[in-house]
Amino acid sequence: MPSASSPADFSAAPPRSPVYLEPEALERACQMERLRRSGPGGQNRNKVETAVRFRHPATGIVGEATARRYQGENREIALERLRVEIALTVRTPVPASLVPPADDNLGALEDLKRQSDAATNARASFRWFARLQGGKIRVAPTSFDYAILVSEFFDVFEANDENLSATAAALETTASQIVRFLGAVPKCLEELNRRRARRGLTRLKS
């Protein structure tokens, strides 16, 4: 799957998980299998091993593509699917903002509130904010950055106790923008809805 932006655009972003690896580096870190799978091609179907599966040994995560006739196309798609799976699976703790020293004149309840407010102010990297324009998340699902932003969203989502409104505020956007952003790849929105269902919350649609 072609990328709309190069990973070099944000080369200073600190790596948190394999999702930050450039495609070549991630591919080197994986085991690749060539497979025979049904797909388009008529009489040529299954005559050659054009399907591709990548397995990332460090995490056990797999990405596979079978539908394209040419192995090179399946290879790109499989690698990007692997990155999305990593984004949805591998979590990295996000540090909360530093809590200012408590004022001696503040009561214990006020001090606890300050601690709570700081804990819900977990932020993503500058990569996320570079993609914001007027609160809107401007990134195509074919972009190298898309899986990274998905990963950062779920990192911050967990840091905010899976509260979507608090997460949106920390990421300087809105819940509806996040739903639209995740909905560009249905599997990503499905992960959000899976977590919501676990808490008895309604499903969201993009």
Q: Which among 11, 30, 4, 15 is positioned nearest to 155, based on CA atoms?
A: 15
Domain for residue 97, yes or no?
no
Q: Residue 206's pLDDT is what?
A: 85
- pLDDT of the residue at 34: 84
Render each residue's pLDDT in the chain as its tens digit; 206 residues. 444 444 434 434 445 799 999 999 999 999 988 877 655 555 555 456 788 999 999 999 999 988 767 777 888 989 999 999 999 999 988 865 433 333 444 455 554 444 444 444 566 788 899 999 999 999 999 999 999 999 999 999 999 999 999 999 999 999 999 999 999 999 999 999 999 999 999 999 98
- The reply to whether 205 falls in a domain is no
Q: Could you give the dihedral angle defined by the CA atoms of residues 105, 106, 108 and 112, in that order, rounded to the nearest 10 degrees? A: -150
How many structural domains comprise the chain? 2
Which domain range does residue 42 map to?
Answer: 17-89
Residue 99 lies inside a defined structural domain of this protein = no
The pLDDT, as a whole number, for residue 129 is 92
Structural domain ending residue among the three candidates 56, 89, 122: 89
Q: 33 and 113 share a domain?
A: no
Phi-psi region at 191: left, alpha or beta (left = phi > 0; alpha = psi -120 to 50): alpha
- Co-location of 118 and 174 in the same domain: yes
State the pLDDT at residue 112.
Answer: 46
In a domain, 5, yes or no: no
> Are residues 66 and 21 part of one domain?
yes
Residues 138 and 179 in one domain: yes
CATH number, domain with residue 74: 3.30.160.20
Please state, as a whole number, how many other Cβ atoms lie within 10 Å of the Cβ of residue 18. 20
Domain annotation covers residue 43: yes
Give pLDDT, residue 118. 41
Q: Report residue 185 as tokens.
A: 């790849």
Query: Is 12 domain-assigned?
Result: no
Report the amino acid identity of residue 63: G
Same domain, 121 and 172: yes
Same domain, 57 and 138: no
Q: What is the pLDDT of residue 39?
A: 52
pLDDT of residue 161: 92
Angle at 9 between CA 75 and CA 89, to 5 degrees: 50
Residue 84 lies in a domain: yes
Q: Are residues 134 and 185 in the same domain?
A: yes
Whether residue 194 sits in one domain with residue 134:
yes
- Is 171 inside a domain boundary? yes
In this predicted model, what pLDDT tens digit does every residue of 46-76 receive, in sequence order? 456 788 999 999 999 999 988 767 777 888 9
pLDDT of residue 32: 87
User: Does 145 share its domain with 179?
Assistant: yes
* 124 and 60 together in one domain: no
169, 114: one domain = yes
Q: Are residues 114 and 185 in the same domain?
A: yes
User: Given this model, what pLDDT does residue 38 score?
Assistant: 58
